[in-house]
Structure 1
Amino acid sequence: MDINNFEEYFDPVILERGKDYYYENKVDHIIQDINGEYKAVITGSDVYSVTARLNSEREIDELTCDCPYDWTDHCKHKAAILYKIRDLIENNGIIKQQENPNGANTQKSLQVILSTVDKDELIRIICDLSDQYPEIEKAIQFRYSVDENEVSQCKTLVTECINKEKYKGFISWSKVGPAVKGAELALERAVQRLEGGFYNQAIDISLVVMPPIVKMIDFSDDSGYISPILNEATEIIKESAQKVSEVESEQRQEELFKKIIKEAKNKRYDGWSEWRHELLKAAVAFCGIKKLRSLLEKLLEQLLENEEPDNWSSDYEIEELKVLQLMLIERFDTEEKAEAFMESNIRFKTFREKAILRALEKEDFTKALQLCEDGIVLNSRLPGLVDMWKRYRYKTCEQMGDIENQKVLARELLMNNNSDFYPIYKGLFPPAEWEREKESLLNELESKDFSSVYRHIIESESETSRILRYCQNHKIEIMNLYEHIIEDYPYEVSELFSSYIEYLSKEAGDRKKYQGVCKVIRKYKKACGSESAKLLIDHLKSQYQRRPAFLEELNKIK
């Protein structure tokens, strides 16, 4: 990734949000050290630390952020710091951290600064900030005061934060973080209660967090905040329910069971059934009490009756509900009954997988293989599941010590582009046999139009002549593979780079694409030297004199 064209590596929506952060001056306290590392604090719905390290070619070697976002490789905070860095570079901005004569960083952390302030001054600072930012006062009061009805207090806090961020009945993506702040604080309190052994309160607090947050899905542009809140709430409820079932009276268990079931039955979870299922899993903890188990079983049957068979989404719901039924059987009934239930629902992935694992545990390899073979036939139109059953088939042969069938199955998985099976397959052969087998394998893969597993093998084995042919058929790959062949084929590498750059230049028509061409030229310079790169740049300048933006980007290459 290059600082000049990092945009192409970001999701467009995330990129736009990062650009907004940059233009809104939310990239604070940015410092740069002598090694090309930039650090910044980015303030949005929360405060996050972001680090970017650039090398001498202005390529981004490292990019990290401590925010919880994990939907794609890069978050909006990373985009924001890169916009800031590029702006500073283009405008010759100089940002240097202060150093003492010994080279130590003299910039003090907030914790160090506050530790030197006396109590009265610290109180004054907090009160002043609270006047400026009322949410600080509310957070401090919630965290350190004791309310006689903390559940009601938590419910109020959650709804107030949500309502505050609504505009015309909707919450935009930039406001979702602040909107769920009350829920985050409430769940912090729930965790405290769980860790302190106050399991009832932990459940009650989590249950008042969930309804407003689930409703919020319908009127907000979520940016990855809502699901984690609901996931944490259900995890607290499940863990607390298990503890309650171990220490509380049947009466108290029944009270909490009914609360959880009442929430799970609510129509707000129609369409968001994953959290309904999690609540029902929590209720299983109380089903050592027969009448409670009977109530849960009846509810599961009712939910199953509402599903339509042979419908993809309904099949998912049916499987999840049947998994809950199995949980009850496994927890409170015999192993024979659990196995019979699995057999009756073997068409579902979860049950087939459990059955295979049980067969392997009992070393019933014949049954395990049959389950795998039947799964391959049953799910023939679902490549992901077919691959899964083939892997279990291999695992079965491995556990049996059947080397010959392992070889057959491992090769079959390789031919389906499962490159992780390459070292496994290679390990099945003695070194004297492997070279011949490798040639046979690569020749067959070549006939399959250079699959990705082929690329993985020739790179792993440093098959330079094959790597060269591969790059000649897939010119873009010279960017990634040149290091493997530059020593043996310097002229061919230069030709491949030049040809690829010529093609990209011809197709480029805007600054972003010109920057992409220049990124490849920088890689070419690194691979083949400054003189080769200079000759090519001069040629491009001559050929594209009427593209001033391209010429400008070419002139930036040092």
Structure 2
Amino acid sequence: MLPLLKSADDSGGDVGSVINHSLAALAEMADSGLPTEASAYCFQKLLNEAARKIYDGWSDWRLSLLETCANLVNDGRQRKIFERQLNSTVEELNDSWSSRYLAERIAAILHRLILKFEGEVHAADFLEQNINFPLFREKAIEAAMANKDYDRVERLALEGEQRDRGMHGLINQWKKARYKAYRLSGQLDKRRNLAVEFILDGSFDYYKELKESYPDKEWASVYPGLIKALEEQKGYQDNYPSILIEEGEQKKLLEYVKARPAYITRYYQHLLPVFRNEVDYLFIQHILDEAQRAGNRKAYREICSLIRQFLKIGSSEKARQVVSQLLAIYPRKPAFKEELLKIKF
């Protein structure tokens, strides 16, 4: 199938999908417990296939073949042959992100072989030597967590956060490990401080956990500083309105929506009935803004859906007025007029 990729348009991913399914089938075969002769035969065939020049430039698929091949290594001779070829693959890597990802996969293969042929002690040493690979750091953290060695979890996680700066997903993963360690070890102050970091990064779940860690009276003195810190950030995080709703901060929520009229459909129920007039005004503003941008029947129908939503919250007279206003503003849009006249009051 690989030669086909050089001449075919695979923008739909069909050829790649066939290759991936084939590789998955090979992996399943290798795990099925083949007889010794069949296993040795498949081992050599896969090793030869992975060595072909046709896989130059397709390192991910070459490595998938080698990962499957590793499951068929059954003795020292095969291991020596296999590792020789695996090391030649390592030599082709550079400093790119994709190469670092492939290097991690290669190290994971070697780790499995060491565990299989040399035992847990040597495998643990290899893992420690390659701890800067995220996969290995994750394994080490899991082991430390299982052993209730929370100081080690904290150290490994902090080292990961330092090393993987700029990689938000990994940093978040290491912080979550730290948070769990602090929770399990009863380190409340550290847990609270880390929860604040998560909150300032947009988490609502950690906000709820932080709040639950305080008695009500103490939380009343903590909350103002936290919401102020969120407000002082560049741009609001997604958790900001959720926090305002949780704390019953209707005035702040109204100010937030005023700056973003399109959000009125999301938050109006939390502003009614106290801010009835403001909700009506923001709904109308949002409808008029959308009408200004609309240029096809689909968009007109969406605007009419907004008007029907406006009707449902008890603003029938103002809904009539906005329909009349739209008919007057856009007399040369017959499709829009047709959709507007379908609205039943």
Does residue 243 in structure 1 map to residue 32 in structure 2? Answer: yes
Q: Return the match for 2:67 from 281, 305, 329.
A: 281
Partner in structure 1 of residue 231 of structure 2: 446
Does residue 366 in structure 1 map to residue 155 in structure 2? Answer: no
Secondary structure of 1:429's match? coil
Q: State the Cα deviation string for residues 39-86 of structure 1 (Å, max 9, x = none).
A: xxxxxxxxxxxxxxxxxxxxxxxxxxxxxxxxxxxxxxxxxxxxxxxx
Partner in structure 2 of residue 415 of structure 1: 200
**For 1:355 and 1:505, how far apart are their aligned partners in 2?**
56
Does residue 458 in structure 1 map to residue 244 in structure 2? Answer: yes
Residues 1:225 and 1:430: Cα distance change in structure 2 (over 3 Å)? farther
Partner in structure 2 of residue 94 of structure 1: none
**For 2:157 and 2:22, how far apart are their aligned partners in 1?**
37
Partner in structure 2 of residue 255 of structure 1: 41
Secondary structure of 1:244's match? coil
Does residue 233 in structure 1 map to residue 22 in structure 2? Answer: yes
**For 2:295 and 2:25, how far apart are their aligned partners in 1?**
54
Per the TM alignment, residue 400 of structure 1 is displaced from its structure 2 partner at its CA by 1.6
Per the TM alignment, residue 222 of structure 1 is displaced from its structure 2 partner at its CA by 4.5
Residues 1:269 and 1:430: Cα distance change in structure 2 (over 3 Å)? farther
Q: Return the match for 1:314 from 99, 114, 137.
A: 99
Residues 1:428 and 1:506: Cα distance change in structure 2 (over 3 Å)? same
**For 1:505 and 1:428, how far apart are their aligned partners in 2?**
47
Partner in structure 1 of residue 80 of structure 2: 294
Q: State the Cα deviation string for residues 64-109 of structure 1 (Å, max 9, x = none).
A: xxxxxxxxxxxxxxxxxxxxxxxxxxxxxxxxxxxxxxxxxxxxxx
**For 1:217 and 1:487, how far apart are their aligned partners in 2?**
61
Per the TM alignment, residue 491 of structure 1 is displaced from its structure 2 partner at its CA by 1.4
TM-score (normalizing by structure 1): 0.57
Partner in structure 2 of residue 269 of structure 1: 55
Secondary structure of 2:332's match? coil
Following superposition of structure 1 onto structure 2, how do residues 54-453 of structure 1 map, counting pairs within 5 Å?
A: 212=1, 214-218=2-6, 219-223=8-12, 225-245=14-34, 248-249=35-36, 251-308=37-94, 310-448=95-233, 449-453=235-239
Q: What's the RMSD between the two structures over aligned residues?
A: 2.4
Q: State the Cα deviation string for residues 395-439 of structure 1 (Å, max 9, x = none).
A: 221222211111111111111113332333233223443344334
**For 1:228 and 1:348, how far apart are their aligned partners in 2?**
28
Residues 1:461 and 1:270: Cα distance change in structure 2 (over 3 Å)? farther
- Given that residues 301 and 339 in structure 2 are in contact (C-alpha distance below 8 angstroms), is that contact kept between their aligned partners in structure 1? yes
Q: Return the match for 1:545 from 310, 313, 331.
A: 331
Per the TM alignment, residue 322 of structure 1 is displaced from its structure 2 partner at its CA by 1.5
- Given that residues 494 and 528 in structure 1 are in contact (C-alpha distance below 8 angstroms), is that contact kept between their aligned partners in structure 2? no
**For 2:149 and 2:46, how far apart are their aligned partners in 1?**
40
Q: Read off the aligned partner of 1:371 and give its amino acid letter.
A: L
Q: Read off the aligned partner of 1:259 and give its amino acid letter.
A: K
Residues 1:484 and 1:277: Cα distance change in structure 2 (over 3 Å)? same
Residues 1:452 and 1:272: Cα distance change in structure 2 (over 3 Å)? same
- Given that residues 280 and 315 in structure 2 are in contact (C-alpha distance below 8 angstroms), is that contact kept between their aligned partners in structure 1? no
Task: Say which structure is richer in helix.
Answer: 2
**For 1:524 and 1:432, how far apart are their aligned partners in 2?**
39
Residues 1:469 and 1:385: Cα distance change in structure 2 (over 3 Å)? same
Residues 1:520 and 1:268: Cα distance change in structure 2 (over 3 Å)? farther
Does residue 501 in structure 1 map to residue 290 in structure 2? Answer: no
Partner in structure 2 of residue 106 of structure 1: none
Q: Return the match for 2:312 from 526, 529, 545.
A: 526
Partner in structure 2 of residue 179 of structure 1: none
Mind listing any 5+ residue stretches in structure 2 that lack a counterpart?
Answer: none
Per the TM alignment, residue 459 of structure 1 is displaced from its structure 2 partner at its CA by 3.7
- Given that residues 486 and 527 in structure 1 are in contact (C-alpha distance below 8 angstroms), is that contact kept between their aligned partners in structure 2? no
Q: Read off the aligned partner of 2:101 and give its amino acid letter.
A: Y
Secondary structure of 1:220's match? coil
**For 1:436 and 1:276, how far apart are their aligned partners in 2?**
59
**For 2:309 and 2:60, how far apart are their aligned partners in 1?**
47
Per the TM alignment, residue 511 of structure 1 is displaced from its structure 2 partner at its CA by 4.3
Task: Say which structure is richer in strand.
Answer: 1
Per the TM alignment, residue 255 of structure 1 is displaced from its structure 2 partner at its CA by 0.6
**For 2:216 and 2:133, how far apart are their aligned partners in 1?**
42
Per the TM alignment, residue 494 of structure 1 is displaced from its structure 2 partner at its CA by 0.5
Residues 1:264 and 1:377: Cα distance change in structure 2 (over 3 Å)? same
Q: Read off the aligned partner of 1:234 and give its amino acid letter.
A: L
**For 1:299 and 1:359, how far apart are their aligned partners in 2?**
33
- Given that residues 482 and 527 in structure 1 are in contact (C-alpha distance below 8 angstroms), is that contact kept between their aligned partners in structure 2? no
Residues 1:482 and 1:338: Cα distance change in structure 2 (over 3 Å)? same
**For 2:166 and 2:236, how far apart are their aligned partners in 1?**
24
**For 1:408 and 1:402, how far apart are their aligned partners in 2?**
10
Q: Read off the aligned partner of 1:347 and give its amino acid letter.
A: N
Q: Read off the aligned partner of 1:544 and give its amino acid letter.
A: Y
Q: State the Cα deviation string for residues 427-478 of structure 1 (Å, max 9, x = none).
A: 3223443344334322321222421111232344554333222211211111
Mind listing any 5+ residue stretches in structure 1 that lack a counterpart?
Answer: 1-211
**For 2:19 and 2:187, how far apart are their aligned partners in 1?**
46
Residues 1:399 and 1:215: Cα distance change in structure 2 (over 3 Å)? farther
Per the TM alignment, residue 264 of structure 1 is displaced from its structure 2 partner at its CA by 2.6
TM-score (normalizing by structure 2): 0.89
